[in-house]
Amino acid sequence: MKTKLTRTLCLLVAVTAALAADSQSPSSLEGIWKWTFTMPDGSQVTPKLKLTQENGQLTGTSSFRTGNETPITNLVINGAEVSFEVVRERDGRAIVTRYSGTWSNDTLKGRMVSNWGGDEQSYDWRARRVAGAEGTWKWSVGFGGSRFASTVKLKQDKEKLTGKVISGRGTETDIKEGKIKNDEVSFEVERDRDGEKTVSRYYGRIYGDKILGKMESNFSGEARTNDWEALRVD
């Protein structure tokens, strides 16, 4: 009886350990992380860390603003401990910033060491994973043998969504009826084309930095339904 009980307890311990290890797996770090940082000159920036799982390997980029992404290097993950480096060039000089810390759920925090001002200095670092619907999302939809790219910039206030859809030609249109509840997202876009009003309705569910769902439209007077897959890019 004691032997059977001991085996059962050992099995429970092993399962618990496996679940804990899985919850702290590298893939759980995927996503976009942001924080506010005061530069040595006193200006404030909002750095962004984007981590992506590709072919079983976690890679990432770091940026201060959209368009200046720099690949991170020497990424090491050991349980809850994380470290990596970012190397940039400034006035012909290599700027090396080393990040180290711990992570749990949607928080990354620790210390960073950088030679931005010449001598190495250390700063606190605390990042939050971007969650919900707020952010910039991109997707493309096939129509008539071609694909059309679109972007939507969403702002979230509790269960209400506002924002603009930007077409591949740069035309901006306000969204209507924007809603989010339990990661379910929906909004509508009305356009006027040659005197005819068209309505496109988007709805889907957020999975991290991806929305999977459908797009319904009455373009050219014909009701259509397409798959909708949007990726968060900022």
pLDDT digit string (tens) for 175-203?
999 999 999 999 999 988 777 788 999 99
Instruction: Tell me the two tokens of residue 141.
Output: 């939809």
Q: What is the pLDDT confidence band of residue 52, given thresholds at 50, 70 and 90?
A: confident
Give residue 81's pLDDT band: very low, low, confident or very high (50, 70, 90). very high
The residues, ordered by sequence, that sit 6+ positions from 27 with a Cβ below 8 Å of its Cβ are 53, 58
Residue 1: exposed, middle, or buried by beta-carbon count in 10 A (0-12, 13-18, 19+)? exposed
* Structure confidence at residue 91 (pLDDT): 84
Q: What share of the chain is helix, strand, coil (3-state, %, to 5)?
A: 10, 65, 25
Residue at token pair 């670092």: 125
For 3, phi then psi, to 5°, come to -65, -40
* Domains located in the chain, CATH noted: 30-129 (2.40.128), 135-232 (2.40.128.120)
- pLDDT for residue 1 is more than 80: no
The predicted model scores a pTM of: 0.62
Report the chain's mean pLDDT, rounded to a whole number: 84
Query: Cα separation of 201 and 189, whole Å?
Result: 6
Predicted local distance difference test score (pLDDT) of residue 65:
74
Question: What is the pLDDT at residue 212?
Answer: 95
Element containing residue 95 per DSSP (H, E) = strand 93-104
Residues paired with residue 163 on neighbouring β-strands, in sequence order: 154
38-47, 66-75, 149-158: segment of lowest average pLDDT: 38-47
Tokens representing residue 174 in the block: 């306000």
